[in-house]
Amino acid sequence: MQVLDIKLFRDFRRLWVQVLAIAMVLACGVAIVLTSFGMYRALGETRQAYYERNRFADVFVAAKRAPQSLLPDLRRVAGVQAVEARITGYSILDVPGHAETVVGHILSLPETGEHVLNVPVLRRGAAPLPGARYDVMVNDAFALAHGLAPGDSFDANLNGTLRRLTITGTVLSPEFIYSIGPGQLMPDNAAYGIVWLPERTAEAAFDMTGAFNHLSVKLVPGARAEAVIDAMDDLLDDYGGLGAYGRDLHPSDSFVSAELNQLRGMALVLPPIFFGISAFLVSMVMGRIVTLERSEIGLLKAIGYSDTEVMLHYQLLAGLVALVGIAVGWIFGAWLAHGLAVQYAQFFDFPFLIYSVSPGAYAGAGLLALSTTALGAARSAWRAARLAPAVAMQPPAPPQFRRSLLDRMLEHVRVRQSTTMILRSLARWPLRSALTILGLSLAVSAVVAAFFINDALDEIIDRAFFQSNRQDAVLLFSDDLPDTALADVARLPGVLAAEGQQAHPAILRHGARWKRVAIEARAPGADLARIVGRDGRAVDAPPGGIVLSQRLAQHLNAGPGTAIEAEFLTGRRETHTITVTDTVEQYFGLGAYVDLGYLNTLFRQRPQIGSANVLVDPAALGALHARVRELPVLMGLAMLTDTRQSFQDTIRQNIVIMNTVYITIAVLITVGVAYNGARIQLSERARELASLRILGFTRTEVSYILVGETMLLALLAQPLGWLIGTWIATAMTNAFSSDLYTIPLVLRPHTFSLASLVVLGAAAVSVLIVRRRLDRLDLVTVMKTRE
């Protein structure tokens, strides 16, 4: 090995603690890149393969009742490759061993058992035999939630008739990767199941003989979905068509797409932070090494090593640091990406997982890490290369001292001499002090980002479940009923209060902008399901006006006072001009609200309701579920109390994991910055500190100088860390929000306090570890060291 190679590995071994501190920060950046892009690619490719293998449709449309004779015309639409008509509906299920009401989404199963589109994947058992009437398939997640297996049975209220259905198989479907039942805010497999019922049975149950009410369409490659959607709407308009929509508006696909967008946003926001800190740490350490090795650099040049070789030597030392970080980041990132991808695949009910992080992702993450360390070491390596041998062999010129404004101020305030030394050190090296402050502030910002999510989720739970949706359950009617039915609802067992409402799909337009939403109509003064304004007070939509969620208003570019068009897809299917009267902050979906009486007037109908929000006595809950199963007019009962508890439990688990990850990251950053900074201070000021000990300063007083400087920098980093954390939190809310859900920007004082405590604590531990070296200083040896 050449001399420089031997020196390289000796330096690397001697600096192993500092190398490890830097490498861990760098590894975090590498791991996040691999995790984000690994999961993004795994989910994206798995979804794409699943859709292609199981022929997931491109366009969907529901209708009231369309004849089978219309299918040839639908198939002849330009751009259509395949069409599958079916019957859909909802039913209340009575599952053995489950006292609560279960909503079943009924889908007709072709008599031949062969699906044209949206082909289910059989997990257990077999498909019903041709000619079977009450043999069914159910989605696998529903079966697992209830412990059901092929051969088991349950009852279903099919349009007022109780039928015993026998499970022959459990399946997964590309339509229900993420399945949310009516009235639910998140998946609940115990309360909502998908049931594939033989076509003849579905026809009889929903009075659909010779007809269909749902259509799935597969497009020819390259066909424009918009043109096909318009044609489908025209053909189904006379049969109660509810408006065709593309795959991007399909509920299941929309949730998967939103999650993929979050992963992409995480990959863009977080890695630059870690790479930037790594570059700073490398620059700080390499700068000190070059300063300490001036004489060695001079000797190397004197015996014939060129400037390029010397510069390359220090770049290689930084490269070794990068290699350690890359290796750890690759291993940890690959493990984390695969583990999370498997969890995502299970959460989204994929039948398989295509997991393959491309070599390009590894190479890209490694190249970023190498570039980061090379950039951090560039200035120091260039400074070493430019040192002339004669100059390098001499001690560096001592820094010039001149009385500054700071010195004059310190004289007046009469601070301790040790404190004066700390402040003068910071003033002597302003750039290094500023970079140290920046590094520690980024650690603070990481914790702020973690705890911001906690506060944001608390705000979502409070707003969604305790301010807006305060009902215990929602009764879902098969068809709109006269509002007099609300009196019958109030007489159900355990019902303490009941309020009616309607929901109608519509397309809202303002200029060239449009959005398909469900317009909810509520009575003035509703107390169970409320529209909550910015000030936390309930808001009523006035007659003739509409209240929009802020995100929907931004999409339409329609603020209060703006007139928009509402094209209703139900009722008389008319278009009305409505004025936006207010906007409210809403975290789930895109809300649009009108007055219930005003909607009945628009539709020129007697007062009606489509669902009822109820407050229930917990003691009578069992009796309510038993009664609901007997009512033919109901298609389901959504328990908001169960959804609320499930959401809180899920969020609590995720918060623990997220907080652990972010706090670990913050501690790694803090240790990397504080430990390296303290080590450099000790190496630079060893002679100075030894002199103080000889002059009679105690160990505590000398330690105060070393510890005090680092902790002062950590304190100064707090306000900047709070600002950067606020910026990261804002970026996260923008990156993670979608039409399905919105994350509010909630930053409370305790968030900043906890972030500061974590970073200050980690900084204190780091510098105290370095401080122990003061006790082992050989004062005689240190004083003999040439400056």
Instruction: Please check whether residues 319 and 440 belong to one and the same domain.
Output: no
pLDDT range class, residue 8, cuts 50, 70, 90: confident
- CB distance 673 to 439 below 8 Å: yes
Instruction: Please check whether residues 444 and 501 belong to one and the same domain.
Output: no
User: In this predicted model, what pLDDT tens digit does every residue of 237-255 receive, in sequence order?
Assistant: 888 888 888 888 888 888 8
Phi, psi dihedral angles at 523 (to 5 degrees): -75, 150
Evaluate whether residue 568 is within a structural domain. yes
Closest CA to 677 of 704, 715, 706, 701: 706
Residue 276 CB-half CA count within 13 A: 13
Q: How many CB atoms lie within 10 A of CB 461?
A: 16
**Most confident option among 569-573, 655-659, 734-738:** 569-573
Q: Stretch 86-114: mean pLDDT, rounded?
A: 87
- Concatenating the DSSP letter of every residue in 93-148 gives EE-TT--S-EEEEEEEE-TTS--SSS--EEEEE-PPPTT-SSEEEEEHHHHHHHT-
| pLDDT number for residue 357 | 75
Instruction: Please check whether residues 383 and 261 belong to one and the same domain.
Output: yes
CA 567 to chain centre: 33
pLDDT range class, residue 563, cuts 50, 70, 90: very high
| pLDDT number for residue 787 | 46
| pLDDT number for residue 421 | 73
- Res 293 pLDDT > 70: yes
| pLDDT number for residue 658 | 65
User: In this predicted model, what pLDDT tens digit does every residue of 390-415 receive, in sequence order?
Assistant: 676 666 666 665 666 656 665 666 66
Evaluate whether residue 598 is within a structural domain. yes
| pLDDT number for residue 66 | 92
339 vs 345: CA distance, rounded Å: 10
413 vs 429, higher pLDDT: 429
pLDDT range class, residue 473, cuts 50, 70, 90: confident
User: In this predicted model, what pLDDT tens digit does every residue of 358-383 receive, in sequence order?
Assistant: 787 888 888 888 888 888 888 888 88
Evaluate whether residue 262 is within a structural domain. yes
Residue 396 DSSP code: P
Range with lowest mean pLDDT among 193-197, 708-712, 720-724: 708-712
pLDDT range class, residue 744, cuts 50, 70, 90: confident
| pLDDT number for residue 55 | 92
Phi, psi dihedral angles at 305 (to 5 degrees): -75, 135
609 vs 40, higher pLDDT: 609
Instruction: Please check whether residues 644 and 781 belong to one and the same domain.
Output: yes
* Bridge pairing between strands 592-595 and 563-568: unpaired
414 vs 426: CA distance, rounded Å: 18
Which tokens in the block code for residue 156? 């279903």
- Res 702 pLDDT > 60: yes
Q: Stretch 226-247: mean pLDDT, rounded?
A: 88
pTM: 0.74
What are the Cα distances from residue 547, in Å, to 526, 558, 562, 597?
15, 11, 11, 15
Instruction: Please check whether residues 307 and 368 belong to one and the same domain.
Output: yes
Instruction: Please check whether residues 440 and 563 belong to one and the same domain.
Output: no
| pLDDT number for residue 108 | 92
Closest CA to 683 of 15, 23, 19, 20: 15
Evaluate whether residue 739 is within a structural domain. yes
Instruction: Please check whether residues 365 and 329 belong to one and the same domain.
Output: yes
Instruction: Please check whether residues 463 and 506 belong to one and the same domain.
Output: no
Instruction: Please check whether residues 155 and 259 belong to one and the same domain.
Output: no
What are the Cα distances from residue 467, in Å, to 187, 473, 532, 643?
21, 15, 7, 15
* Domain extent for 297: 1-56+251-396
- CB distance 330 to 30 below 8 Å: yes
Evaluate whether residue 80 is within a structural domain. no
Residue-averaged pLDDT of the chain: 83
649 vs 459: CA distance, rounded Å: 15
Q: Give the bridge partners for 135, in sequence order.
A: 166
Evaluate whether residue 66 is within a structural domain. no
Q: What percent of the chain has pLDDT over 90?
A: 19
Q: Stretch 527-543: mean pLDDT, rounded?
A: 84
| pLDDT number for residue 531 | 87
Evaluate whether residue 148 is within a structural domain. yes
498 vs 485: CA distance, rounded Å: 10
Instruction: Please check whether residues 603 and 539 belong to one and the same domain.
Output: yes
Instruction: Please check whether residues 665 and 606 belong to one and the same domain.
Output: no
**Most confident option among 326-340, 630-644, 685-699:** 326-340
| pLDDT number for residue 123 | 92
User: In this predicted model, what pLDDT tens digit does every residue of 635-668 receive, in sequence order?
Assistant: 778 888 777 777 777 666 666 666 677 777 777 7
pLDDT range class, residue 708, cuts 50, 70, 90: confident
Which tokens in the block code for residue 611? 């669902």
697 vs 602, higher pLDDT: 602
How many domains does the chain contain in total?
4
- CB distance 21 to 332 below 8 Å: no
- CB distance 490 to 498 below 8 Å: yes
Domain boundary (178, 195, 212) is at 195
Instruction: Please check whether residues 30 and 137 belong to one and the same domain.
Output: no
Q: What percent of the chain has pLDDT over 70?
A: 90
Evaluate whether residue 74 is within a structural domain. no
User: In this predicted model, what pLDDT tens digit does every residue of 32-88 receive, in sequence order?
Assistant: 888 877 777 888 888 899 999 999 999 999 998 999 999 999 999 999 999 999 999
